[in-house]
Amino acid sequence: MLIYAGIDEAGYGPMLGPLCIGCSILTVEQHDASTGAPDLWSRLDHAVCRGRKDRGGRLAIDDSKKLKGAKGGRRHPLHHLERGVLAFLGSTMDGSDWLESLDDSEVLSRLGATVPEHDWYRSMTTLPLGEDRGLLGIASVRLKRAMAGAGVGCHSLSCELIDADAFNHEVDRTGNKANVNFEAVLRRVQELRTRFTGHDLHVVIDRQGGRTRYREDLQHAWPDDMIQVLDESPKLCRYRLRREGRDDDACSITFAQGGEDRHLPIALASMTAKYCRELLMLRMNRYFTEACPGLDPTAGYVQDARRYLQDIESVILERRINRGQLVRSC
């Protein structure tokens, strides 16, 4: 059985809110490794599709940037992100009782996301935001049936949150935010290798910033491993890692440009990371809007974050908020 895991991040560029590293772990039965990575969009085409437009009511699984809707639209901006993430998360559970009294704290907990202990993250949001619970339950059941028929399973979804204060500390330690992101990705890979020792593990990751070769970075992370370069080109890098004398500990790692378009697990990881970040930004905006009625919410990106920080300056001063816990250094 193939363990097919995807890793991607959301929130790399903003000034406010967490950097989120998402990971999706899927299982695929009866896969021939010589044919490359499986196309799970094809295998699960009764239940999933690419993009937001599908008359059949299938789940949109795609790059998170393509799925978030505009404000003021017919549907909630997070409709497709939420629907996909919660349906896959629901497929890992028995029954649909978990949908009856769902809030973001439960979802974040199930994703292993530790919410930072800052006042602006303390409120909770009732879920789902953009879908009827009954329809979401139906979509989850439909997905389960499609996966069972295709020999595919969702082992788990997870997300690591790196908020401003931890982010700033890590930037100071590593030298730049690209290193912070890459180290977080390698932590996810190490967790996968530890959890799935003895299995056929294939980890797929979106290309990391300006990096086009990864062998030296991987060797530094796992100095005792033998690393075989399977492919190294500007758009695709593939490696096989194995500890000497330990064939049961081998895994393959792929870095792909536009990975969300090539590998469903990367797209699902991207959606998971983005959904978690959006839930945290909802909490932040609620906190400061309650203190500043009429405040326009922010997504946290640099230009608008500067406007937002100016608008909440009086709250920052009055409540003695540590800027290093709220605002990223880069």
Q: What is the pLDDT of residues 57-105, one digit of tens each?
A: 899 999 999 998 878 778 899 999 999 999 999 998 876 677 777 899 9
Q: What is the pLDDT of residues 260-295, one digit of tens each?
A: 999 999 999 999 999 999 999 999 999 999 999 999
What's the average model confidence in pLDDT over 152-169?
A: 97
Query: Looking at the predicted structure, is the pLDDT value of residue 312 above 80?
Result: yes
Instruction: Give the range with max mean pLDDT: 130-139, 184-193, 248-257.
Output: 184-193
| Structure confidence at residue 34 (pLDDT) | 66
Paired residues of 253 in beta bridges: 203, 239
Average pLDDT, the chain: 93
Query: Looking at the predicted structure, is the pLDDT value of residue 134 above 90?
Result: no
| Structure confidence at residue 247 (pLDDT) | 65
What's the average model confidence in pLDDT over 129-136?
A: 86
Predicted TM-score (pTM) of this structure: 0.95
Query: Looking at the predicted structure, is the pLDDT value of residue 31 above 90?
Result: no
Q: What percent of the chain lies above the pLDDT cut of 70?
A: 98
What's the average model confidence in pLDDT over 195-206?
A: 93
Query: Looking at the predicted structure, is the pLDDT value of residue 246 above 90?
Result: no
Does residue 318 contact residue 294 with C-beta atoms inside 8 Å?
Answer: no
Q: What is the pLDDT of residues 92-130, one digit of tens each?
A: 887 667 777 789 999 999 999 999 999 999 999 999 998
Query: Looking at the predicted structure, is the pLDDT value of residue 199 above 70?
Result: yes
| Structure confidence at residue 53 (pLDDT) | 82
Q: What is the pLDDT of residues 211-238, one digit of tens each?
A: 888 999 999 999 999 999 999 998 899 9
- Whole-angstrom Cα distance, residue 253 to residue 189? 9
Query: Looking at the predicted structure, is the pLDDT value of residue 314 above 90?
Result: yes
| Structure confidence at residue 245 (pLDDT) | 67
Number of residues that this document lists for the chain: 330
117 CB burial (10 A radius; 0-12, 13-18, 19+)? exposed
| Structure confidence at residue 96 (pLDDT) | 65
Give all domains of the chain, ordered by start, each with its CATH number: 2-281 (3.30.420.10)
